[in-house]
Amino acid sequence: MEIFYRQYEIVKGAREAMLGFIDKEAGTQLLTPIKEFNNSTIGYLLVHIANTYKHWAANFAMNKGLPYIDENSVSDIATMRQLFAEADVLMMDFLGHFTDPGLTVTNQVRSGKMVTVTFLELFTHMITHEFHHKGQIMTMCRLLGHVPPDTDAIRY
């Protein structure tokens, strides 16, 4: 299971590359609606990413029943960083909760359907979800006139 801790550290490094760039270059435009993204904002997507960790790791996998953050309520990068610090704590708890990547969790999703997934599927879903939206956020920054840095897992 150690590999998953190491992989999540890579995710956090890529996230920090994104957050550092936003903090320095686009932080004043965190809540600027972007037409090409259905008038969504960078801030909205950042909160959505943090909420997704809360949903799958804490509430689905471990039945914590934690409340979600309103995706339109966070207006500064310092608060965004705090949300991700909380997501990191949840992920450490999630990673420590499982002893085998093949272990399954069954729980109800919002539609009411019962879903069974493995730890590996949950972990993969959460980190690929973050990378998907990180790419969208970097495109949003570009549309706002900023040239984003490389925020991939391997950066050079």
- Please tell me the predicted confidence (pLDDT) of residue 154: 83
- Please tell me the predicted confidence (pLDDT) of residue 71: 87
Statement: residue 38 has pLDDT above 80: yes
Tell whether 19 is covered by a domain: yes
Rounded Cα distance between 154 and 78, Å, is 25
DSSP secondary structure, the chain, as one string: -HHHHHHHHHHHHHHHHHHHHIIIIIGGGTT--BGGGTTB-HHHHHHHHHHHHIIIIIIIHH---PPPPPTTS--SHHHHHHHHHHHHHHHHHHHHH-S-TT-EEEEE-TTS-EEEEEHHHHHHHHHHHHHHHHHHHHHHHHHTT------SSS--
Tell whether 86 is covered by a domain: yes
The overall average pLDDT reported for the chain is 95
Tell whether 156 is covered by a domain: no
Tell whether 155 is covered by a domain: no
Count up the domains in the chain and report the number: 1
Statement: residue 47 has pLDDT above 80: yes
Tell whether 45 is covered by a domain: yes
CATH number of the domain bearing residue 46:
1.20.120.450
Q: What's the pLDDT tens digit per position in 14-30?
A: 999 999 999 999 989 99
Tell whether 49 is covered by a domain: yes
Residue 89's Cβ-side half-sphere holds a number of Cα atoms within 13 Å equal to: 5
Confidence of residue 104 (pLDDT cuts 50, 70, 90): very high
- By the 8 A CB rule, do 107 and 88 touch? no
For residue 114, count CB atoms less than 10 angstroms from its CB and return exposed for 0-12, middle for 13-18, buried for 19 or more. exposed
Tell whether 105 is covered by a domain: yes
Tell whether 150 is covered by a domain: no
The residue range of the domain holding 73 is 2-143
